[in-house]
Amino acid sequence: MKLVLSTGVLLIVHLLILQCPAFTVRHIMVNEPLTFLCICTGNRPVVLWTRFIPSKVVIAKCDSQTCRIEQHFQKRFAVSGDTSSGNYSISISSVVYTDAGSYRCSCDGDPVDEVKLQVYVPIVIKAFEGENVTLPCYGDTRIDAVNVQWKKGEETVLEITSATTGDVSVGRYSISKEGYQDGDLSLHISSVNRSHDAFYRCLIHDESRDGDPRAVLLKVEERRPEHQPPPACNCYTVLAIAVTLVILVLVILLIIYFVRRLGETNNNASTDPGPPVQEENQMIPKLSSTQSFQD
């Protein structure tokens, strides 16, 4: 009898596992594009995309390989897969904060894919290659922060727990135990390079809670010559150049002055009328009336 019951329970569990859709968790930043996959088999299935958490709402419905997006979602959502081959994937051109929730793709009434979407608004930290960087995160380690994880994308780069006796470090990553006791869960990265350029999340208490801030976007830039300090000033060289420029300006001003003076002298010489010329009749002496009579 017990064997029959055990077999029946195992069969029921197996059937439930087979009927459960694939469930994944996606993490994304606001304004980023995103695609949810959905593959439906069968001859022209009826496909329904819904968001069922926090409230149920229909996003798109496909029938006979023809899809219709509900009006509220038409601006950013689109069925991007090749429906003729059974691909009914849906894309979001630019994620907004209120897109967070749980999504389901159903084929002929049976759920085949479920996705929990978490949307982040990370703080941005910029650094040059070779610099030491601290990614901030805080949480109440007295009560709920049994363990703390830092994730780079989906990869766990470092973890610290209340049982840890000292600082924790892996490669260039480290967390201070003393800071942990004070609620400072910040991640320290020494001598960053371009491979550290990524999206980081701070998770506490078995990933059930987010730290504050929830996420950090680290942007690492290549160190270029223009970012290096300028060379020391050679004051004697600068002074010599300044004196040379002053002398050059004075010489030019003197040349302009003498050229103008010479031009004024030439103009005065060409316009001078000279001494007055006497008329010819003034040079002939006049005869008196007596001399005229004698003649």
Strand partners, 200: 152, 216
Query: With 50 as the cut, is the pLDDT of residue 71 above it?
Result: yes
pLDDT over 90 percentage in the chain: 54
What is the mean pLDDT of the segment spanning 229-247? 78
Query: With 50 as the cut, is the pLDDT of residue 295 above it?
Result: no
What pLDDT shows up at residue 164? Answer: 82
Query: With 90 as the cut, is the pLDDT of residue 157 above it?
Result: yes
Do residues 29 and 199 make contact, with C-beta atoms less than 8 angstroms apart?
A: yes
pLDDT over 70 percentage in the chain: 78
Between 265 and 29, the more confident residue is 29
Radius of gyration of the chain (CA): 46
What pLDDT shows up at residue 237? Answer: 83
- pLDDT band at 230; cut points 50, 70, 90: low
What pLDDT shows up at residue 294? Answer: 45
Q: Which residue has the tokens 């995309």?
A: 49
Model-level pTM? 0.64
CATH architecture, range 23-120: Sandwich (2.60)
Domain with CATH 2.60.40.10 in the chain: 23-120, 123-221
pLDDT digits (tens, 9 = 90+) for 256-286: 888 888 777 776 666 655 555 555 444 445 5
Query: With 70 as the cut, is the pLDDT of residue 232 above it?
Result: no
What pLDDT shows up at residue 5? Answer: 45
E-assigned strand segments in the chain: 22-29, 34-36, 47-53, 57-63, 66-69, 77-79, 90-92, 101-107, 110-120, 123-128, 133-135, 147-152, 155-161, 168-170, 173-175, 187-189, 198-204, 209-221
pLDDT digits (tens, 9 = 90+) for 86-137: 999 999 999 999 999 999 999 999 999 999 999 999 999 999 999 999 999 9
Q: Which residue has the tokens 């030491």?
A: 132
What pLDDT shows up at residue 82? Answer: 92
Query: Which helix H or strand E contains 271, and what residues bound it?
Result: helix 235-271
Query: With 70 as the cut, is the pLDDT of residue 287 above it?
Result: no
Query: With 90 as the cut, is the pLDDT of residue 224 above it?
Result: no
CA-based nearest residue to 80, from 132, 39, 133, 20: 39
Mean pLDDT computed over every residue of the chain:
83
DSSP code for 184: B
Tokens representing 220?
A: 């690492």
Question: What gap in Å lies between CA 56 and CA 28, rounded to an integer?
Answer: 21
Superfamily of domain 123-221: Immunoglobulins (2.60.40.10)
Do residues 126 and 35 make contact, with C-beta atoms less than 8 angstroms apart?
A: no
Q: Which residues of 1-24 are buried (b: 16+ CB within 10 A; e: fewer)?
A: eeeeeeeeeeeeeeeeeeeebeee
Pairing of strands 22-29, 110-120: parallel
